[in-house]
Amino acid sequence: MKGKKGWKQRACLCLMVFLIGLPGLAGASSRDDIYREELDILYTMVQSGSSYILFGEERDDLMAVWEGVRNLSPEQGLEAVKYQLLDCNGDGKPELLIGQDNRLTNLFTIRDGKLHQVFSGFYRNAWYYLGNGRFLNQGSGGASLSILGEYHLDGNGNLVCESYYFTHWDPAVEKMEVYWNTFGVPDITLSEKKDMTMDQFGKLQEKLRNKVKKLSWKSLARYGKDRVDVEGKARVTAAGKVKR
């Protein structure tokens, strides 16, 4: 019975995604429609109050959003999850940013006519927008590892590391050390050891966090309402044409 119930729930979710996406099927190869498909799935997941697992696979994009709404009601979740279309690399074409509060959960661009996920952000591996196509990555991997990276998005939709600090426990001297590189990996063999205390590292974190830009977000709740309005207008227009 449990398996049968799970199958029915998945079938209902698939139907919801299909119905929400109907107005965008015409010309589905356009950038807006490709992004709309992702937003439709996110909207359905949050509105249904379902886990990302019910969508058939463990997807980082869904997991990152679900992490922030799993303790909220569907209505609260739809208001909490935001999105914005913004040209981040200056190529004249917008990227899709998704987030909650001022933290980014996903960044997408288009490659070869298909959706390309640049990154997903979680509470322990958070991303923020610094403006001018630049991003801040702040995270931790346990008591001894904290990371602080700055990146920019190039014209091909790739993240390019500009600066990457991380902490490392040195058992020889029994203290935390700070390292830096431009590779974006916490590897001391590829890094330069910095003459920096943990207090100074903390102040650097605070300094960069203060540079985070506030985005002009729209909520998923608003997205759902706009989609219903567009579908309603399309039906009215179609009905008018039939009458004539």
The tens digit of pLDDT for each residue in 160-203 reads: 999 999 999 999 999 999 999 999 999 999 999 999 999 999 99
- From residue 17, give the alpha-carbon distance in Å to each of 21, 39, 63, 73, 225: 6, 10, 17, 19, 15
**If pLDDT is split at 50, 70 and 90, which confidence band does 230 have?**
low
Average pLDDT over residues 120-126: 97
Q: Please report, rounded to a whole number, the percentage of residues in the chain having pLDDT higher than 90.
A: 73
HSE-up (13 A, CA, CB side) for residue 154: 6
Shared domain check, 235 and 185: no
Q: Flag whether 239 is in a domain.
A: yes
Q: Flag whether 2 is in a domain.
A: yes
Q: What is the pLDDT of residue 98?
A: 99
The set of residues, in sequence order, having a beta carbon less than 8 Å from that of 84 and lying 6+ positions away, is 96, 97, 215, 216, 217, 218
Average pLDDT over residues 135-145: 95
The Cα–Cα gap between 111 and 137 comes to: 23
- Residue of 53 and 6 predicted with greater confidence: 53
Shared domain check, 51 and 128: no
> Do β-strands 95-100 and 103-111 pair in parallel, antiparallel, or remain unpaired?
antiparallel
Which uninterrupted H or E stretch holds 206?
Answer: helix 198-209
Shared domain check, 183 and 155: yes
Shared domain check, 139 and 72: no
Q: Flag whether 68 is in a domain.
A: yes
Q: Flag whether 88 is in a domain.
A: no
Q: What is the mean pLDDT of the chain?
A: 86
Domain housing 173: 124-213
The Cα–Cα gap between 161 and 186 comes to: 13
Shared domain check, 73 and 13: yes
* pTM higher than 0.95: no
Phi then psi dihedrals of residue 99, to 5 deg: -165, -175
Contact (CB, 8 A) for 97 and 84: yes
Shared domain check, 220 and 209: no
What is the number of structural domains in the chain? 2
Q: What is the pLDDT of residue 223?
A: 97
Q: What is the pLDDT of residue 25?
A: 34
Span 8-23, pLDDT tens digits? 455 444 444 444 443 4
Contact (CB, 8 A) for 220 and 46: yes
Average pLDDT over residues 39-47: 96
Average pLDDT over residues 120-136: 98
